Amino acid sequence: MKAKVHVTLKPGVLDPQGRAVLHALEALGFGGVDGVRQGKFIELDLKESDPKKAEAEVEDMCKKLLANTVIEDYRVDISEG
């Protein structure tokens, strides 16, 4: 199975990386941007072939390593292949 994981900052948490991108866009002449938030996108190839078990395993990985759950949210999508 394949897993796609989105890790994003929780609402309200300051995002200095997003602010830097916003300012760089403005400097390049893109004035029509009100806000930028930057997160992580992680793709995993898994040996597990059962979607339910794969999802539980990846949720566990998120809690233990991939996301800092104090300040970040995560979303797991499991697909065939």
Query: Are 45 and 5 a contacting pair, CB within 8 Å?
Result: no
- Residue 50 three-state SS: coil
Nearer to its own copies, 59 or 70 (CB): 59
The 10-29 contact track toward its own copies, x by CB under 8 A, reads: --------x--x--xx--x-
Query: Are 78 and 1 a contacting pair, CB within 8 Å?
Result: yes
Cβ count near 80 (within 10 Å): 7
User: Binder to its own copies among 19, 42, 56, 59 (CB under 8 A)?
Assistant: 42
Residues in contact with its own copies by the rule CB under 8 A: 6-8, 18, 21, 24-25, 28, 30, 32-48, 57, 60-61, 64-66
